[in-house]
Structure formats: structure tokens, C-alpha cells
Amino acid sequence: MEPFLYNLFSDRQIIRLGPWFLQKFIARRIARKRAPKSRESYRKIGGGSPILAITKQQARALEEALGNSGDYLVRSCMRYWHPFASEILPELAREGVGEIIALPLYPQYSVATTGSSLTDLNRTADRLKLPFTIREIRSWPDQPQYIRCLAGRIREGLGRFKSTPEVVYSAHSLPQKFIDEGDPYVDDLHKTISALEKITGIQGHLCYQSRSGPVEWLEPSTPDMLRRLASSGCRNILMVPISFVSDHVETLYEIDMLYRDMAAELGMELRSTRALNDDPEFIGALRDLVLSQPSAPAAM
């Protein structure tokens, strides 16, 4: 846990901890302090994160879906823990791959997520002197099949309530300064929500979870949204983890445990939509994204 957190907080594209030469020192102290709390969160969802296993399932399913469209290899890598780009890129080079389509599993672009991942991918290829052509899929907030898949999850979730719930879109938070500096993350979130509302005919509420540290974060926070809805007489909430495509600690612990319990204390029932994970329709969306690139066949 501690090395993972150290890698995370060492990334200045996510957070700037003092002057650059102190970043790693401060990151190490934060990681040491936060590790016990983080370990407890993961303990509550089974002792570890399922995201690597799910991402590998997505990769296998996508490679199979691309099988009739060219000679594709699909491999997954992580930003802050194994397998790193430095482990996956040499493997692709040994397989004879010359072109990579980089497909971040973040539908909405932010410099802290997609931006950091693509920067790491390109820098790693340069550092290892691997002459790949790298084509980037930078964002896909309103990709039609992705939106249809999300809309299906919402309809499914609505059917689990006896009376119509309020739909709450909970996205991973960012420091407000990112948006002030031109990050398109919030605009991309609104693109996703707008496309969903055209299909479902339901207007929802956008809020932000997973904030930490003494900086100004995007508002409203998810806890604040829950309190606001409770005070207005809301009794049922369908929460849609709008910026997450796979189950991990933010969905399994924060939403399904922490926010569910908070909602119950406020007199409300909270249920969440199922994650997309390796749903065939979602894999179809990823396939369409890859095939929409200007050159094929390629490897991802």
C-alpha cells in the first residue's frame, strides 16, 4: 500500500507538493501516514483491489472482440503500480509491435488521469528507446455505445426502487485549480451526463467524491449532496459512478459502504448502478474506439 501511495503522490501532474525538489520527500511522508487507513478500506472490500483483475478481463475481451478486424494485441498497464508501462512496452516490442493505440480507461479527460498516463507512456517509450508510433485516444465522454451501456445500467437501477429515486452522478474529484487552468474534465462530465439525459429523460445531480488534502476541491462533494437531498425530502437515491468504468475502492467501499451508510443515517436508501467492467456492450464501445482510429491494424 505504501509504495503505491508514494508513486501516486510523487506525480506532480496530480498534485504539487511544495517545490519540485521536495515532492518525493513529502510524498513519502504522506504515503506512510495514509497507508494504514487505506489498508483498512481495502480490507473491507476483500483485502485488495479488484481493478487489475478486471482490467485484464477487459483486455482479453477486447482482444477477442478485435479478432476479426486485424492483428491486434491488447495489453493493460497501470500508472502507479504493476504492471507499469516499463514492463508492458518491452513485451510488445518483443512481439514485433510497431504501432500502439493508447486507450485510457477514463472516458472524461483530465491532465491528472489520462494526461498523466499518456505522458508516462510516451516518456517510458522514449527512455527505453522503443520506436513505437503511439496514437492516443484522449477522451470519449459521449461515445454512443458507452452511453447506451450506462443508460442501461441506470434503467436497471431504477427498477430496484419502489418509488422513483433521485439520480446522483458521483465523479472522482479534482482540485478546483485544475479546472481554473483549463482542464476539460468537468466539461467532459457534462457531455456524458447530457448524452445520458437525452436517452433516459431523467435529470440528475453531479457531485464529486474522493477528495483529500487542504486545497479547494470541486463542489459539491458527494457527502454535501447527500445532506442537501435529505434536507429537501429525498428518500431514495440511485448513485451512478460516472467517472469509473471498473469496480474498485471508490465504488465498492466509498459508494457501496460509506455513502450508503451515510444516506441511511439521513433517512434515505442509496443504491448504486453496476460497474461496466467487462460487459460485452462496453467492450463493444472500446472496440469501436480502437477501430475509429485512422490506421489499422495496430496493437494497444
Annotated binding site: 172, 250
Which residues are known binding-site members for Fe(2+)?
A: 172, 250
Alpha helices in the chain (DSSP H): 2-9, 23-44, 51-65, 85-94, 116-127, 144-158, 176-180, 185-200, 222-231, 249, 260-265, 280-291
Please tell me the number of Cα atoms within 13 Å of 215 on its side-chain side: 16
- Cβ neighbourhood burial of 233 (10 Å; 0-12, 13-18, 19+): exposed
Distance (Å, rounded) from C-alpha 122 to C-alpha 132? 9
With beta carbons less than 8 A apart as the criterion, state whether 7 and 211 touch.
no
Cα distances (Å, whole numbers) of residue 267 to 6, 34, 102, 229, 271 = 39, 31, 44, 10, 13
Distance (Å, rounded) from C-alpha 259 to C-alpha 265? 10
Distance (Å, rounded) from C-alpha 269 to C-alpha 273? 13
- Cell 518525493 belongs to 24
Distance (Å, rounded) from C-alpha 286 to C-alpha 276? 12
Distance (Å, rounded) from C-alpha 252 to C-alpha 47? 12
- Residue 276 identity (one-letter amino acid): L
* N-terminal to C-terminal alpha carbon distance within the chain: 28
